[in-house]
Amino acid sequence: MMELIFLGTGAGCGVPTFYCGCEVCKEAAAEPRYQRTRSAIALKGSENVLFDAPPELASQLHRECIDRIDQFVLTHAHHDHTAGLHDLEIYARFHSKEVLPAVMSRETCAHLEESFHSLHDWMEVTFVEPGDCLERSGIRLTALAVSHASGTLGYLIEQNGSRVAYLPDTGPLPSETKALLKGIDDLILDATFWGENWYPEEHHTFEETIRTGEELEAGRLYLTHLSMHYSTPVTSRKIEETIDPYNGKVHLAHDGLRLEI
C-alpha cells in the first residue's frame, strides 16, 4: 500500500498571489486550506516517488514530513514544475550523496540542460516516450501522450491492481491516451480554467475536465492545476458547491490531500 499526496494543486500563479485582491485570494488568505501552491504529487511508501519539482518544493515536502526522495518523475520543463530542481540537487549532492534516478522525455531533458548545466552530475535520467512502461519503486509507470508543450507527458501509475493517472497539464487528450485510461480508478486531471479557456490546446476548463472524466468512466476524478483567478475568478467554495451533485465521483483536490492506492 502506498499513499499519494497532493503536494500542490495550483497552476502557475498559485493562490493567493502577492499582487491580487480578488475574492479567490481573499478566501485563501482567510482560510489556509484554500491556499494552493504549484502542482506536484508524491507517492509515499517503502520508497518515495516525487512527480514534478515546483517552486515551493522544499516547503511542500517539509509540510508533509517527507525527508527522502528515491525516484523523481517529471511531466515537463515549464518553470512551475521545475523551479524546485535546485532543492533536489542540494539533497542529492550533500545529503543522500547519491545520484537521483529520474524519468522524463528526451525533449524535456534537452530544455532543462539549457538552464541546469550540472543536471547530469547528480541526476541519472531514463528517457521515456508515450506508451513506454517502467517498473519503479514498486509501481508500474506508463508514459502518456498529452496536449501541452513539447515533450510533456502524463503518467499512468499502477500498483497492486490500482490504476491512477496523473495529467496536471493537458488540453484535449489524444485518442491513444483515452484508450489507456478507459475505466481508470482515479483520474487526476488539469482543470486550469473556469470560464473562458485562454489556451484550449494546452489546458482544460472545469467543464471540459468533467466531460473528460465522464467519457473515460473514471471511478473518481480529481481536479488539479487550478488557476482560480483566470479567466473568471472562482472560489473553492463555489467549485465545491458545483461538484456536490456528482455524489463523490468528482473531487476538488487541495494541497495536502492524501489517497491510499
In tens, the pLDDT along 69-81 reads 999 999 999 999 9
> Is residue 229's pLDDT more than 90?
no
In tens, the pLDDT along 153-206 reads 999 999 989 999 999 999 999 999 999 999 999 999 999 999 899 999 999 999
CA-based nearest residue to 170, from 41, 43, 75? 75
Query: CA–CA separation, 197 vs 180, rounded Å?
Result: 26
Hey, what's the torsion of the CAs at 216, 221, 225, 231, to 10 degrees? 80
Q: How many CB atoms lie within 10 A of CB 180?
A: 20
What average pLDDT score do residues 210-236 get?
95
Whole-number pLDDT of residue 137: 84
Structural domains of the chain, ranges and CATH numbers in brackets: 3-254 (3.60.15.10)
